[in-house]
Amino acid sequence: MTENQTWVTEFILLGFPLSPLTQVFLFGLFSLFYAFTLLGNSTILGLIWLDSRLHTPMYFFLSHLAVVDIAYASNNVPKMLANLLNKEKTISFVPCIMQTFLYMAFAHTECLILVMMSYDRYVAICHPLRYTVIMNWRVCTVQAIISWACGSLLALVHVVLILRLPFCGPHEINHFFCEILSVLKLACADTWLNQVVIFAASVFILVGPLCLVLVSYTRILFAILRIQSGEGRRKAFSTCSSHLCVVGLFFGSAIVMYMAPKSRHPEEQQKILSLFYSLFNPMLNPLIYSLRNTDVKGALRRVLWLERSM
């Protein structure tokens, strides 16, 4: 390093290079999506809290998924919305690193929560007589704690490796938030170790869990096909298809983002992928679970009927 280099104390988030009118339109559209995200996931949380019939392991994990989705969107979207209207699109170094940490922590946690949900469905359908013994509340609580702890620890590893790097310029992040790959491009040192750890973490947190989910659902499919009752088979398909939709949306976009060759999709396409699982996934998850899940729709009707009666 030469003596006349200065350390970066803030970054500029370039966001989307669009006309002012288009940015105002996107501000309104994304604000609406963000409001739907908060409303939908808060509704799921409220229904699970209020309806005792939803006090089961499946909805215990669904409530954690709703919390993760709210936190995940709230970490990235408000700053993006502010930058769509502001000419100054700066973010200080410490808030940027904190945003990276929270983004990675919530993403990792969501992967693990989805695996726990698939295991819950596997036990419920393949081992129904032992379900209450295997998936007792102590086991569910431990699984949730492990998901949050592992997600946070993995994110901490990424942040520690980022903080060892010097950032002496340039200071323009070609993204709408402090996404880890975009931040690493600004480092004034070799980032091979960071890239190796990101790839290894992707294998551990994306490929590994996805394989577990696919194995679980392969066995679930065979178990469903053996169910004699048409109503039982329909309910099992409805519940499992909801979860598979969520898994496909999240894991698919994340694997393309972090494991596909970077030459396959330019930076603007990476922004769209990030937007998909930062905003659209958290918004779609409650819609998928409410529209395709008879228990959630029944709980909503009971809560609305109770309020009308009061």
Residues ≥6 apart with Cβ < 8 Å to 262: none
Query: What stretches of the chain show up as alpha helix (H) in DSSP?
Result: 20-50, 57-85, 93-126, 131-134, 137-163, 180-184, 192-202, 208-225, 230-258, 267-275, 281-292, 294-309
Give CA 179 to chain center in angstroms.
14
Return d(Cα 250, Cα 31) in angstroms, integer: 21
Start-to-end CA distance of the chain, whole Å, equals 71
Buried b (16+ CB within 10 A) or exposed e, 119-133: bbbbbbbbeeeebee
Q: Are strands 10-13 and 90-92 parallel, antiparallel or unpaired?
A: antiparallel
Return d(Cα 8, Cα 50) in angstroms, integer: 49
8-state DSSP, 128: G
Q: What residues form DSSP beta bridges with 92?
A: 10
Contact 158, 100 (CB under 8 A): yes
H-run or E-run covering 12: strand 10-13
| Stretch 69-78: mean pLDDT | 93
Contact 112, 152 (CB under 8 A): no
Return d(Cα 87, Cα 14) in angstroms, integer: 10
Whether the per-residue pLDDT at 19 is higher than 80: the answer is: yes
The tens digit of pLDDT for each residue in 230-281 reads 776 776 676 677 777 788 878 887 887 777 665 555 677 778 888 887 888 8
Contact 223, 240 (CB under 8 A): no
Length of the chain in residues, anyone?
A: 310
Tell me the one-letter amino acid at 63.
Answer: S
Q: Which of 9-18, 78-87, 196-205, 292-301 has the lowest mean pLDDT?
A: 292-301
Taking the C-alpha atoms of 267, 269, 273 and 275 in order, what is their torsion angle to the nearest 10 degrees?
80
The tens digit of pLDDT for each residue in 173-226 reads 988 899 998 899 898 888 999 999 998 998 888 888 888 888 888 888 888 877
